[in-house]
């Protein structure tokens, strides 16, 4: 962490965790929540929910790419 960075607020951490878990288990509900908050100015909690969703989607994509790579390696081994 850089010296000029602050620790995230408790509200940010809560929003991040809620966003991550909702993205994982209830993505449609998360979309509805974020759309309903779009009329209001963003706060730490709502921004953090977006970050949590982005993190979950990133991890999911990385896992899918690893699974594809593993399947490709297995196919190459079978052909030999």
Confidence (pTM): 0.81
Any domain includes 1? no
Check residue 39 and give its pLDDT: 84
Number of domains comprising the chain? 1
> DSSP 3-state assignment of 43?
coil
Residue 68 lies inside a defined structural domain of this protein: yes
Q: Tokens 């309903």, residue?
A: 36
Is residue 54 situated within a structural domain? yes
33 within some domain? yes
What domain range includes position 68? 10-79
What confidence score (pLDDT) does residue 77 get?
Answer: 81
Tens digit of each residue's pLDDT (9 = 90 or more) over 19-28: 999 999 999 9
Query: pLDDT of 36-66, one tens digit each?
Result: 988 888 899 999 999 999 999 999 999 999 9
* Residue-wise pLDDT tens digits, 1-20: 455 578 999 999 999 999 99
Q: Decide if 2 is inside a domain.
A: no
CB neighbour list of residue 20: distance below 8 Å, 6 or more residues apart: 52, 53, 55, 56
């Amino acid at each position: 962490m850089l010296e000029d960075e602050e620790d995230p607020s408790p509200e940010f951490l809560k929003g991040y965790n809620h966003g991550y878990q909702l993205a994982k288990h209830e993505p449609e509900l998360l979309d509805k929540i974020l759309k309903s908050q779009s009329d209001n100015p963003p706060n730490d909690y709502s921004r953090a929910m977006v970050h949590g969703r982005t993190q979950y989607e990133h991890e999911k994509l990385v896992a899918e790419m690893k699974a594809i790579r593993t399947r490709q390696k297995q196919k190459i081994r079978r052909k030999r």
